Amino acid sequence: MAKRRMFNIDVVSTDDFHSMPRDAQLLYFNLGMSADDDGFVASPKIIMKVLGIRQSNLITLAEKGYIKLFDSGVCLITDWLAHNYIRRDRYTPTRCKKEKESLDSMPDDGQPNDIPADIPPVDTGKDRIGKVSSGEDRSGEDRSEKEREKADKPPRARFSPPGVEEVGEYCRERKNGIDPQRFVDFYTANGWLQGKGKPIKDWRAAVRTWEGREKNDRHHHDHGYDDTPIPGGLYL
């Protein structure tokens, strides 16, 4: 079972949500943290007892459409898919099978909420189990164009630190004379950060930056300048 939970700002930062009593809002977040991977909360009454929150707040959430209550005492976070996508290798099916099977709008194939690399923005519309149509968000804005734009963007590749041999091969191709061991040791020591502490996204670009500095250092050395830097990037 996944151990992390998220909340979609499009759901919990609306006037509709903030118009509820604070106890109802607090209860919603705690229900979300306690829900299983399908958004079901098996024992909402225990959560209310621990928090000292009255039953009326649970009813408020149900009336507003933020949760669905079942006769068994189980409740469902109706915006669950807007808040959380669970990776297939971390997904655990809900034990509230009867409640899940009773919902026509819930998937009945037993498949987890898998999230591919190019997934478009999730539909946060209240055809969740009921208010806003699936083509619009809470503000009434059509999301189809935004979804297409997001889907067209390829996922960004994760940075992987290079080895000494890989850096050495690139330096030999460019004939820049950079010591690959020194380069790798330097960035390994500082956590592969550059500039003002920003993570390096392209180590080859960092090599080219070093290349320019090396040329600049050689230029100053060949012309007899003191290599001691002073503020402003100049040399004595």
Specify whether the CB–CB gap between 89 and 131 falls below 8 A: no
pLDDT score recorded for residue 70: 92
pLDDT at 235: 42
pLDDT for 30: 94
Cβ pair 123, 82 in contact under 8 A = yes
Q: Which of helix, strand or coil describes residue 36? A: coil
Report yes or no: 187 and 163 within 8 Å, Cβ to Cβ.
no
Q: What is the pLDDT of residue 114?
A: 47
Q: What is the pLDDT at residue 149?
A: 67
3-state secondary structure of 33: helix
pTM of structure = 0.44
Q: What is the pLDDT of residues 84-141, one digit of tens each?
A: 877 777 778 878 888 888 875 554 444 444 444 444 444 444 445 444 444 444 444 4
DSSP characters over 74-143: -EEETTHHHH----GGG----S-HHHHHT-TTS--S-------TTPPPP---STTTTSS-TTB-TT--B-
- The helix or strand, by DSSP H or E, that contains position 213, with its residue range, turns out to be helix 203-222
Per-residue confidence (pLDDT) for residue 81, from 0 to 100: 86
**Whole-Å CA distances, 56 to 61, 84, 195, 236:** 9, 26, 54, 75
Give the pLDDT score at 117. 44
What is the fold of 9-115?
A: Arc Repressor Mutant, subunit A (1.10.10)
**pLDDT value of residue 93:** 82
229 with 235: CB under 8 angstroms? yes
Residue 58, pLDDT score = 95
Domain boundaries, the chain: 9-115, 164-235
Q: For residue 40, give the H/E element and its range.
A: strand 40-41
- Residues ≥6 apart with Cβ < 8 Å to 37: 1, 2, 84, 86, 90, 91, 92, 93, 94, 112, 113
Sites in the chain below the pLDDT cut of 50: 107-127, 129-141, 227-236
Dihedral, CA of residue 121, residue 125, residue 130 and residue 134, to nearest 10: -80
Cα separation, 41 vs 213, whole angstroms: 59
